[in-house]
Amino acid sequence: MKTTFQLLLTALVFIATASLTNAQTPEVTPEVTHNTWTSGAAMPTARMTAAAIVVGTSIHVIDGYTPGGFTNVHEIYNTKKNTWTTGTPDPNTRGFVAYAVVDKILYIFGGSNGSENLDLTESYNPSTDTWTTLAPMPYAEQTAAAVADKDIIYVIGGNSPGTGFLTSVLSYNTTTNTWAEEAPLAAATAWEAVGLLGATVVEADGGNATESLDSVEGYNVKKNTWTELTADPTARNPGCYAVIAGQFYVAGGNSNGTNITVNESYSPKTKSWTTLAPMPDGVYQAAASAVAGGRLYCFGGGLFPNIGYNNVQIYQP
């Protein structure tokens, strides 16, 4: 028969062994299936040309165009729970906006409210759920694209009343709330894809009054100069796009009147394009964001003026 001391010693040995075994057991990381698409919970409001901001595990989808007209609705997608909630609407109804994120603040530029093109600049702070009106753009425009480099946001191309399709590039300083004009694009374009690869802003595709484009240009932010890059094999007005892990992804879109599912990536190292798994549904003018976990989320899209989608398509590179 074991003494009390022997029983206690046996228990301590068991606990120590169990602790050691647990400490040596590696954590199990969920397996990632690369180059695949999945679906998220549908947006409550079907729309195209919305803005999107990533804050932690949430994505705010704001404004846009629906088959019933322009909207200021603000819906928030939780990437972990795959659920939707609502936030404070934009004080101004609009779509076809340019947008970018700096320090977890969303900036929205220009766009249209259905009656006129706008020079409006606003910011939205998710931590306080509040909107602020900022210095207006030098001119009214819609269908431009924007990309941030540190505290500077570049608003590129677009369409302006009386001027038409634009080569112009504006920079907005989020620290000083001021605007400046930068070196223009070589080709006038709207609805284009943009992203930051290192210190180079890449502008790809888009369209003008007559055709979809395959041209790609790179902007050196230090030298304020543009150079021609390898053309996209697919001419299109992009569906959604983002830079993830040093690659520029462009998915879906509209090519000369037809929605397409083509998904490609551009590598600045090889200066070449790679064809990837196609989108399940070809969409045009979706709201797009790259989020933690390295995925591309594409919200809605449509075909102006009669078709709007509420689907959420998620690409894992």
List, run by run, the mean pLDDT of 10-residue segments along the chain (317 residues): 46 40 47 94 96 92 95 97 98 97 96 96 97 97 97 97 93 98 97 96 96 97 97 96 97 94 98 98 90 92 86 97
Q: How far is CA 156 from CA 153, 184, 190, in A?
A: 10, 9, 8
Q: Report how far Cα 20 is from the mean position of its chain's Cα atoms.
A: 45
Question: What is the pLDDT, as a whole number, of residue 307?
Answer: 81
Q: How far is CA 233 from CA 33, 71, 214, 250, 263, in A?
A: 26, 34, 7, 11, 11
Distance, CA of 176 to CA of 154 (rounded, Å): 15
Question: What is the pLDDT, as a whole number, of residue 302?
Answer: 86
Q: How far is CA 311 from CA 60, 87, 113, 272, in A?
A: 15, 19, 23, 30
Question: What is the pLDDT, as a whole number, of residue 163?
Answer: 87
Question: What is the pLDDT, as a whole number, of residue 4?
Answer: 46
CB 90 within 8 A of CB 125: no
Question: What is the pLDDT, as a whole number, of residue 32?
Answer: 86
Question: What is the pLDDT, as a whole number, of residue 3?
Answer: 54
Q: Which two tokens stand for residue 249?
A: 């992804």
Overall fold of domain 36-316:
Neuraminidase (2.120.10)
Kindly report the number of other CB atoms within 10 A of residue 60's CB atom.
22
pTM of the model: 0.90
CA pseudo-torsion sign 134, 138, 140, 144: negative
